[in-house]
Chain A
Amino acid sequence: MNLNFDFMQKYLPWYLEAAVLTVKIAFFGILLSLLVGVVCSVVQYYRIPVIRRIISVYIEISRNTPLLVQLFFLYFGLPKIGIVWSAEVCAIVGLAFLGGSYMSESIRSGLESVEKSQIESAASLGMSKLLTMKEVIFPQALAVSVPGVCANVIFLITETSVVSGIALADLMYVTKDLIGLYYVTDEALIMLVVFYLIILLPISIIASFIERRLRYAGFGN
């Protein structure tokens, strides 16, 4: 393989800019999906009537449709009923729509892993529901939820590649663009892979570090 390094150097700024966009969409999308995930999981955990049903429907839709379809709906569908938003906001909301359900399931499995006797002993100490959630359930749930949440973070970062489908100049988009314009397939693809690795590897390493720490802390009575 004979790589054209001049080409790679020349288009490096394109990739940098695209990487910033990818990271930005991923960051806000993931933050928002965590928020959605916490709210949904708590509603489901306490079996709050009605809202809980709505959330189950949301989770089914979110998990069983491809992100690209969700984005198309947000970007091309909603404007038809008067809701217009920028491609970037669309991408963030789309990612949160997808990620919210995954986060919710991970967090919920953590919440449900906390034993009933823990909640009862908090109750018998006169602790309110809110205080029990904050001091007893949530910290213990975290240890169980974190591996799933970390896996979701990585999954969602890789999913950002789909936003090129709504014309956002992310890494994937730039790559396709360059290949289309100049037929420099090898160079463009290598840069794509390298950039994704630069973004993902550190996160992956941090995630496994956190998981290890949590395992050591392994509460278990």
Chain B
Amino acid sequence: MENIQLQVSGLIKRFGTETVLNGIDLSVRKGEVVVVLGPSGCGKSTLLRCMNGLEPKSAGTILLDGEEVTSDSKKIAQLRQKIGMVFQSYDLFPHKNIMDNITLAPVKVQKRSKKEVEQDAERLLKRVGLWEKRKAYPRELSGGQKQRVAIIRALCMNPEVMLFDEVTAALDPEMVREVLDVILELAESGMTMVIVTHEMQFARAIADRIIFLDNGKIVENSPPELFFTNPQTQRAKDFLQTFAYEKRRTAIN
């Protein structure tokens, strides 16, 4: 049990009378990459948002490193330093340049020296080929560049877990790759990750485990090879079918 990094048990989330998550049990081991799949609106984002306390849960427990994730206490700010999150919308701070976007939280929240953080930022920016853009403002960057910066911004907090919520969904097709490559590299470096994506090939390549959500429950929890070649439920089969269709359609176009 030592190496369980993130443990979700009996998680229930309701919005009003609608039950979005209806008893989720999931543990993520250290260094593991879990990809969450499911039809639109099935609660993937909600699950991730509960994991870092952005969304208060209705019942159940979430433990990060054995510590409870609650959405109200002051402790959550402390806890969130261990759990990085990147969203679909590019939400860099538009009034700060790239370097300041990255260094803001490590310096002001973690009280690290600006110089040290800037060295980290330099190393990471160079690795993704964006060092030249350090003085640029977010509006001067393409969507793919912004998402890479958003990932670096989260990484500079030295998190133990990274959550990705459809980070390529709003990108032009030619930019998807550059962002996914960064996440792949991160996986190779051993980062624990929970990823929501609609890129099936990417999911298959990166995942140690696929979680398929439907009707507020995990209906499949299997290794990628099994999930993609021989899904156990009809819902998962139908879901994969829609992607097969989309793939054919893009091939025709």
Chain A residue nearest to B71 in the complex (CB): A123
Scoring A residues 178 to 221 as 1 if CB is less than 8 Å from chain B, else 0, what string do you get? 00000000000000000000000000000000000000010111
Rounded to whole angstroms, the CA-CA distance of A137 and B80 in the bound complex is 19
A121 on interface, CB distance cutoff 8 Å: yes
Chain A contacts for B139, CB-based, 8 A = 219-221
Main DSSP-derived SS at the A contact region: helix
Which interface class (under 10, 10 to 19, 20 to 34, 35 or more) fits A?
20 to 34
Q: Which residue of B lies closest to A219 (CB)?
A: B94
What's the least CB distance linking B214 to chain A, in Å? 26
Contact A221 B90 (CB under 8 A): yes
A136 nearest CB neighbor, chain B only: B93
B93 touches A128 (CB 8 A): no
Inter-chain residue pair count (beta carbon < 8 A): 75
Q: How many Å from the CB of B97 to the closest CB on chain A? A: 12
When distances are taken between beta carbons in the complex, the residues of chain A under 8 Å from B90 are 221
Of the residues A120, A139, A220, contact of B91 by C-beta under 8 Å: A120
Taken together as a complex, chains A and B put the C-alpha atoms of A128 and B75 apart, in Å, by 10
Measured between alpha carbons, how far is A210 from B62 in the docked complex, in Å? 48
Contact A221 B54 (CB under 8 A): no
Q: Please state if A117 and B93 are interface contacts (CB–CB under 8 Å).
A: no
Contact with A along B89-112 (1 / 0, CB 8 A): 111111100000000110011100
Q: Does A158 contact B (CB under 8 A)?
A: no
B154 interfacial by beta-carbon distance below 8 Å:
yes
Q: Which residues from B are CB-within-8-Å of A143?
A: 95
In the complex, besides A121-B150, A126-B78, A131-B108, 16 extra interface pairs with C-beta distance below 8 angstroms are A117-B87, A117-B89, A118-B93, A120-B87, A124-B83, A124-B84, A125-B80, A125-B153, A125-B157, A126-B109, A128-B109, A139-B95, A140-B95, A217-B95, A219-B95, A221-B90
Binding site for A on B (CB under 8 A): 52, 54, 77-81, 83-85, 87, 89-95, 104-105, 108-110, 137-139, 146, 150, 153-154, 157
